[in-house]
Amino acid sequence: MNLLSRWVLFFAVILSGCATDSALQKSAPASPPAPQATTAAAAAPVPGPLTPLGQGQPQSDAIALLSLPQDLWDRIRRGYAMPDLSTELVTDREQWYAARPDYILRMTERSRKYLFYIVEELERRKMPTELALLPFIESAFNPQAVSTARAMGMWQFMPATGKDFDLKQNVFRDDRRDIQASTRAALDYLQRLYNLFGDWHLALAAYNWGEGNVGKAIARNQKAGLAATYTDLNMPMETRFYVPKLQAVKNIVARPKSFNVKLPDIPNHPYFQSVPLPRDMDVTVAAKLADISLEDFKALNPSAHRPVLFAAGTPQILLPWDNAETFQRNYEAFGSGRLASWTAWVAPSNLKVAEAARRAGMSEDEFRTLNNIPPRMLIKAGSALLVPRHARMEEDVDGQVADNGQLSLAPEMTLRRVVVKAGKKDTLESLSQKHRVTVAQLIEWNELGSQSKLQTGQSVVLFLAQAASGNKKGSGGKKKESVQKAQAAPKTERLAKR
């Protein structure tokens, strides 16, 4: 193509704004050296004054627009930067996924709400974009997923690890489920592991198995004079399959036709944006103001596991891109209507559930269900509880409670140490029946043998149930006297009687 032809073609592109010329497409680089964040402004117009997620500068160069991927899967492929793993386990997982097209479709459809945001964050950090596929392995992109080991959320954080990465876990919300907070924590953790081991496969193994375990496995191999790469380490079966699973999904995304897989179309455009939550608000009210279903609202705001959102603890909510302005407009038109039906109440002292429910004006069953309190438990002082918000109550929940509220429980009954004197006809069996304990317990409490016989006047220790609040009403004076004498009696006296 001569110089004149190129200039003609350049001006044609400027005027038409399209990228249909095959010659230009062929001349675009197939694999950009460093993936750059695609801005929301370049992908679509911003609907109103709300600030979208995925900030960046809009592209002004028409030629640069030609290289932008129009599909999110293509954008992910362009940012692949991890070394490929080629093992029998990878082939095994490829076949497993390819044989389950319905499962792949469910996972990928679920991912469309979150994938753009994750890719934006990876590109902003200059991290490999195949890490955006990791939630397929961790949770099948289900932010409500909970493992048997209590790992939670899309990125499957354990409680302790979540706290290490500033993921709030309180009675009103769990940030391990939060889309933005958990993604930030996961990428922080993965980058830290990569910096520690200098290898993405080892970093992924450590994300699954723990950095301490991977470090020990490397040290064992080095001590034995063996190689210490991912494939050389002795690991649990789950970790051994972990990277091959990600590699298999990566290969399927790279070449879906080769595996007879159809990936759903996911546009290269943000699905959601962040909107300020101005007041405490019921989840149902927030969904209604945004004109979306309750299911869709919870899918974007899964950390809120209560029927109300407290603005002091959850200052932002996520809404579909086209519904953010709707929410803002409807909120401004809402007027002085009631936004929240619930508020937080801090227990002033240890309380039985029935008493706390009475103070809240609720039935005990309703109160237990709302606050997830199991049977036979006592509410400890300082616990934050959800209770109805009265119509005259105008103040929202303060930040200390909304951000740090915890529910502390204790068994309703505790054991009280009591000492009784054995009568002339008392045996272990008769005392066990009289005080509703077992013979085995009497033997253990009194360090007796299985064939021991009680002597008249012998002190026998029992542990009997009493209210956890420490109320000793109903205890007879003789029993109190016996306890005092028993506590004063030296242990050697009881051993001598044996």
- Residue pLDDT, tens place only, 25-37: 333 333 333 344 4
**Alpha carbons 207 and 370: distance in angstroms, whole number:** 35
Q: Which residue has the higher pLDDT, 456 or 75?
A: 75
Per-residue pLDDT tens for 243-297?
999 999 999 999 999 999 999 999 999 999 999 999 999 999 999 999 999 999 9
**Alpha carbons 394 and 290: distance in angstroms, whole number:** 23
- For the structural domain made of 414-497, what CATH number should be given? 3.10.350.10
Q: Is-contact 247 85, C-beta < 8 A?
A: yes
**Alpha carbons 10 and 45: distance in angstroms, whole number:** 25
Domain boundaries defined on the chain: 3-70, 76-259, 272-334, 342-411, 414-497
Q: What is the pTM of this model?
A: 0.72
Residue type for position 199: D
Active site residue 138: yes
Q: Is-contact 252 101, C-beta < 8 A?
A: no
Per-residue pLDDT tens for 226-237?
999 999 999 999
Nearest to 154 by CA among 170, 137, 169: 137
Length of the chain: 498
Per-residue pLDDT tens for 407-433?
999 888 767 888 999 998 888 889 888
Task: Specify the DSSP class assigned to residue 421.
Answer: E
Report the chain's terminal Cα–Cα distance, integer Å: 109
Q: What's the confidence (pLDDT) of residue 468?
A: 52
The band of 112, judged by pLDDT with boundaries at 50, 70 and 90, is very high
Q: What's the confidence (pLDDT) of residue 388?
A: 97
The CATH fold assigned to 76-259 is: Lysozyme (1.10.530)
Active-site entry in 120, 138, 295, 394: 138
Tell how strand 384-388 and strand 342-346 pair up.
antiparallel
